Structure 1
Amino acid sequence: MSETASEIAGLRAALAASEARAEAAESELAQARAVVSTSEAMIKHLRLEIAKLRREQYGRSSERRARLIDQMELQLEELEAAATEDELVAEMVARTTPVAGVQRRRPARKPFPEHLPRERVVIEAPTTCTCCGSDRIVKMGEDGEPLCAIGSRTMASDTLEVIPRQWKVVQTVREKSPCRHCEKISQAPAPFHPTPRGWAGPNLLATILLEKFGRHQPLNRQAERYAREGVELSLSTLADQVGACAAALAPVHALIREHVLKAERLHGDDTTVPLLAKGGTKTARPWTCVRDDRPFAGGAPPAALFHFSRDREMAHPNRHLAGWQGVLQADAYGGYNDLYRDDRDPGPVESALCWSHARRKFFELADIKGNVRKRKPAHDISPVALEAVTRIDALFDVERQINGLDATSRLAARQRLSRPLVKELHDWMRAERDTMSKHNPVAKAIAYVFKADRWEAFTRFLENGRVCITNNAAERALRGVALGRKSWLFAGSERGGDRAAFMYSLIVTAKMNDIDPQAWLADVLARLPDMTASQVPTLLPWNWKPSEVRQAA
């Protein structure tokens, strides 16, 4: 019996030692990753400085050199943000394991311009002593954060903040009062900042994020605009805050992801963006999964979840939707086929294809206005394609009438109104296809609908009132990406693409809930540091109430 007890004690000791070694290895890995990210950012920063110096010395030799500097600035932006994220992770791990944290060398920040107005925010001292509870305390002075009083002079903590069309520096001071009874100095606790080092206020942070990811203005253009307004902020400084905000907003993003993947029906789609690569660019993919139950009067709020990948391989949708089961509304992309397998764990996903995609192929052959613009003769208009568009539009007319009704009412209306139209469309397309060559463009458009088992997926909406007839919800979510790539030209790195997908999830979800994303981000960044994990759900767009409304209530 004693031998068994000693063996158990030995195993427990070995397990504890193994866990300690694993924690130490994890901490060392995080520290090494932060060091590598910092080194890469420093190297890129030095290369950018060399390129700028060469350009100043030898003049504007070519447009290509100017574009090369823009590309280098974008790469530096992504590396700086990634380095800040890795550094924060290393600092969090270092708190639990005896491994030294990483201190990243940052360029010295210039003092805030003197011409900006100052606004004092005074945190009043306690009325009773925090040590003994006595009320015999008097005001002695005030200090900022950190404590830096020199003689009779006290310095406040300066935070750069932005309001529409106006800049200001917010000076936060904390009053302190000594107790005449016990000589203890009482002072209110220092406020938390949205990001480490706390030089930027939440409204400025929200402006930077929304300009970059919501209005598609790269940080180098933002820095130029801020400089014209009299405030010089370097690209590195702005990128540092983008990475810090991504780390701070991670709890909110995790809740949005959980909410989206609880849906019984999702919209899925992807689009293309150029990704900066050696020797040029390559085509990368932002993906989106959208939960929108409003068409069938569902009670769940809408939300969007974005992902990023270097290519369009089948492995990506499998990874994004691992463990999820339900109805997926998407196009006929073959990369989703693994999700529909019967032997999939936890079960097959049901496919519901988009009638807008099917209609588009016929519409391109029957676009009268488009042919007029291209100066094509009238006989190039396909009457069969025009008839197909007319028949599909009849289905859309029914959907407009039932949009917003509950699932049961929608299903009943579809059985009564849409099913006969779909049956007639099916028979008519088969009859027309049999009279055409398989190389006929109209026959190819018809084959898109009938290929493999697609007809069953196209008619899924006749059996389920929750299913939409189109996948337009996902296409609307990706519209901002399609507009943005014309402005920022390409993604600077795969890590930058992941960060962009992270921020798109927050911004698009806020817009879907009719919330101003800038006001929401500013309030979330201001309130998150003081919140516990159980309070974070109150910051989700569909639960969020602005601070003013909350205080009034």
Structure 2
Amino acid sequence: MNPLAKLDQLDLEPAAKTEVAALIQSLIEQAERDAKIIQAKDAVINAKDVKIAALTHELAYYKRIRFSTKSEALAPLQRDVFEETWNTDISAIEAEVEQLQDDQPCATVARPKRLRAGRQPLPPHLPRIEHRHEPEFCTCGQCGKDLVKIGEDISEQLDVEPAKFFVHRHIRPQYACRACETITAAPIPPAVIDGGMAAVGLLTWMLIGKFLDHLPLYRLEQIAARDGVSLSRSTLADWVGRLGVALQPLAERLAWHLRQRSSLHADETPVPQLDPGNGKTKKAYLWAYRSNDLQPGPKIIIFDYQAGRSGRHAQQFLQDWQGHLVVDDYGGYKALFAATRAHPETQYILESCIELACWAHARRKFFDLFQTSQSPVAQEALNRIAELYTNEAEGRDMTADARQRLRIEKSLPVLTNLHDWLQQTRLTAAPNSATAKAIDYSLKRWAALMRYAETGDLPIDNNPVENSIRPIALGKKNWLFAGSERAGQRAAVIQTLLGTAKLNGLDPAAWLKDTLEKLPAWPNNRIDELLPFAAPD
């Protein structure tokens, strides 16, 4: 009922009736305004509820993708990039949901509890800067009595300062002898670049930035310029060239040590090289040779830059080396395994290299087949190969003798059954089909695929050297090409030293700085002491 119409039924004086009518009208208008405000707020809340629900769904989708990725769904570098993107997107979505819920205390969507892993303690070797936060008053805010310290709540935050440029000023007082008219002064400490203005710390920063962080020299030039330091690219390039020559003997010595091992990994990756005559780039190759982690001794990675992919480059590097070589199916290595030579004493003909095939490559053929066709044959092969890797995981921390017994007991029967199954399955596979090609890849290399399981110190695959090459693939995206063959060889020398330092658990920057300080006055007959090997326990 209209309240103004009911007002006419009341016996009120005209003035009072007018006043009451105005009051009722204002209340009605206020109620209508409040209703519109509430309606608008409801619309905002509903919109936020819809957005929160959408973000929650998107977050679940990203988490499902992120945590359900399979081992070979993407190439290693792609997987690293996508995992970084997924983690960033998940955090951003969670932050958006939290902001919406903070602005909407009465939201109908319950705030999900964030699952956080326990925070890892910050490294104990880092310096600590203490900030003490004392209460504003030393008396109780309730009763006014003195406060008594009962403990401390300590939390830590990690911080960093950008690279600092500073100047070492070397002052050499000159002393004269009046009697014999001679002048005496302290000798100038030897430097890796004689007479240069760069201290060892700056040279280390430059090499680590260029060869470990994959920053071209022009970017290092820009970083220095932001701090008001002028480092021209030509000067930086001059330092890199001189340091490459100074470090060359260390890389050559590492290569000598590597060739003393009885089993090695080998692989190669293409590198664009500038071809000035054509104004384009041509394809060069960075060959990689790595020690076997299952055998004793420091870990070593050697990079050898060559203008092509011919097998003669591997022969030139290995020289007269004998042993087991783990490789993929690239034909350039076949000459190594075909080469024979006479034993100097018995004159018996010996194989120079014995091939070890890579189970990761054999597995990849079946994985690609399964991805494209969901083939039951591929699935069965993958399951059988997985048993081999399960055995390897079980024997990872065993001695070589114990690992050999494990392989003979568990892996050899799996391999025998797998070989029989592959042969039988091949008879039913259509000629030239993808299934036939995947099976043929393993059957043609079966002797080389079997060899590891007869020992306790040979690897199952070539993944260690492929993992060592992976940073090079990342670097190529930044520096685009090698400027010349000499530049590629110089980069290989420095990558060899830094890569070996990383493999042995050393801080490459700390090792390089220490080595550059010692190198100018270091005797050649003690060069092994400078190699990037971890100190023995």
- Regarding TM over 0.5, the answer is yes
| Aligned position for 1:391 | 384
Identify which of 432, 444, 450 aligns with 2:443: 450
What secondary structure, in the 3-state scheme, does the structure 1 residue paired with 2:169 have?
strand
| Aligned position for 1:234 | 232
Matches within 5 A, 1:62-461: 165-179=163-177, 182=180, 184-277=182-275, 278-293=278-293, 295=294, 298-344=295-341, 347-367=351-371, 380-451=373-444, 454-461=445-452
Q: Is the 8 A contact 1:538 1:544 kept in 2?
A: no
- The reply on whether 1:482 has 2:482 as its aligned counterpart is no
What secondary structure, in the 3-state scheme, does the structure 2 residue paired with 1:478 have?
helix
Instruction: Provide the rounded CA distance (Å) in 1 between the counterparts of 2:442 and 2:377.
Output: 15
Identify which of 495, 502, 507 aligns with 1:511: 502
Q: Is the 8 A contact 1:329 1:351 kept in 2?
A: yes
Instruction: Provide the rounded CA distance (Å) in 1 between the counterparts of 2:388 and 2:535.
Output: 38
Instruction: Provide the rounded CA distance (Å) in 1 between the counterparts of 2:532 and 2:485.
Output: 28
What secondary structure, in the 3-state scheme, does the structure 2 residue paired with 1:518 have?
helix
What TM-score, normalized by structure 1, do the two folds share?
0.64
- The reply on whether 1:534 has 2:525 as its aligned counterpart is yes
The CA deviation string for residues 80-130 of structure 1, in whole angstroms up to 9 with x for no partner, is: xxxxxxxxxxxxxxxxxxxxxxxxxxxxxxxxxxxxxxxxxxxxxxxxxxx
Deviation at 1:183, TM superposition (A): 5.2
What secondary structure, in the 3-state scheme, does the structure 2 residue paired with 1:421 have?
helix
Q: Is the 8 A contact 2:320 2:352 kept in 1?
A: no
The CA deviation string for residues 474-519 of structure 1, in whole angstroms up to 9 with x for no partner, is: 1011011111111111221111111111111111101001111111
Q: Is the 8 A contact 1:286 1:308 kept in 2?
A: yes
Instruction: Report the AA paired with residue 296 of structure 2.
Output: G
What secondary structure, in the 3-state scheme, does the structure 2 residue paired with 1:249 have?
helix
The CA deviation string for residues 259-310 of structure 1, in whole angstroms up to 9 with x for no partner, is: 11111110000111222222422222110110133x3xx3310011111122
What secondary structure, in the 3-state scheme, does the structure 2 residue paired with 1:206 have?
helix
What TM-score, normalized by structure 2, do the two folds share?
0.66
Q: Is the 8 A contact 1:292 1:301 kept in 2?
A: no
Instruction: Provide the rounded CA distance (Å) in 2 between the counterparts of 1:204 and 1:544.
Output: 26
| Aligned position for 1:125 | none
Instruction: Report the AA paired with residue 326 of structure 1.
Output: G
Instruction: Report the AA paired with residue 282 of structure 1.
Output: K
Instruction: Provide the rounded CA distance (Å) in 2 between the counterparts of 1:541 and 1:397.
Output: 33
The structure with the larger Rg is 2
Instruction: Provide the rounded CA distance (Å) in 2 between the counterparts of 1:543 and 1:314.
Output: 33
What secondary structure, in the 3-state scheme, does the structure 2 residue paired with 1:332 have?
coil
Instruction: Provide the rounded CA distance (Å) in 2 between the counterparts of 1:424 and 1:396.
Output: 16
What secondary structure, in the 3-state scheme, does the structure 1 residue paired with 2:170 have?
strand
What secondary structure, in the 3-state scheme, does the structure 1 residue paired with 2:526 have?
helix
Q: Is the 8 A contact 2:327 2:357 kept in 1?
A: yes
What secondary structure, in the 3-state scheme, does the structure 2 residue paired with 1:173 have?
coil
Moved more, 459-468 or 419-428: 459-468
The CA deviation string for residues 442-491 of structure 1, in whole angstroms up to 9 with x for no partner, is: 2101111122xx21100011222211001111101101111111111122
Deviation at 1:187, TM superposition (A): 2.2
**Stretches of structure 2 lacking an aligned partner (at least 5 in a row):** 1-160, 344-350
Instruction: Provide the rounded CA distance (Å) in 2 between the counterparts of 1:345 and 1:225.
Output: 58
Instruction: Report the AA paired with residue 508 of structure 1.
Output: G
Deviation at 1:342, TM superposition (A): 4.8
Deviation at 1:522, TM superposition (A): 1.1
What secondary structure, in the 3-state scheme, does the structure 1 residue paired with 2:165 have?
strand
Identify which of 524, 527, 532 aligns with 2:515: 524
Runs of 4+ in 1 over 6 A off after TM superposition: none
What secondary structure, in the 3-state scheme, does the structure 2 residue paired with 1:534 have?
helix
Instruction: Provide the rounded CA distance (Å) in 1 between the counterparts of 2:532 and 2:289.
Output: 17
The CA deviation string for residues 213-265 of structure 1, in whole angstroms up to 9 with x for no partner, is: 11111112211221122111111100000011011112221221111111111
- Note closer, same or farther for the CA distance 1:292–1:449 as it changes in structure 2 (3 Å cut): same
Deviation at 1:402, TM superposition (A): 0.7
What secondary structure, in the 3-state scheme, does the structure 2 residue paired with 1:459 have?
helix
Deviation at 1:196, TM superposition (A): 2.7
Instruction: Report the AA paired with residue 195 of structure 2.
Output: R
Instruction: Provide the rounded CA distance (Å) in 2 between the counterparts of 1:409 and 1:173.
Output: 62
Q: Is the 8 A contact 2:419 2:443 kept in 1?
A: no
Deviation at 1:181, TM superposition (A): 6.2
Moved more, 244-253 or 274-283: 274-283
Instruction: Provide the rounded CA distance (Å) in 1 between the counterparts of 2:432 and 2:477.
Output: 35
Instruction: Report the AA paired with residue 261 of structure 1.
Output: R
Instruction: Report the AA paired with residue 530 of structure 1.
Output: A
Instruction: Provide the rounded CA distance (Å) in 2 between the counterparts of 1:216 and 1:410.
Output: 39
Superposed CA RMSD in Å reads 1.9
Instruction: Provide the rounded CA distance (Å) in 1 between the counterparts of 2:509 and 2:468.
Output: 17
The CA deviation string for residues 46-100 of structure 1, in whole angstroms up to 9 with x for no partner, is: xxxxxxxxxxxxxxxxxxxxxxxxxxxxxxxxxxxxxxxxxxxxxxxxxxxxxxx
What secondary structure, in the 3-state scheme, does the structure 1 residue paired with 2:173 have?
strand
Q: Is the 8 A contact 1:323 1:345 kept in 2?
A: no
Moved more, 259-268 or 188-197: 188-197
Instruction: Provide the rounded CA distance (Å) in 1 between the counterparts of 2:329 and 2:342.
Output: 22
- Note closer, same or farther for the CA distance 1:421–1:340 as it changes in structure 2 (3 Å cut): same
> Percent identity over the alignment?
41
Deviation at 1:349, TM superposition (A): 0.3
Moved more, 266-275 or 415-424: 266-275
Deviation at 1:536, TM superposition (A): 2.3
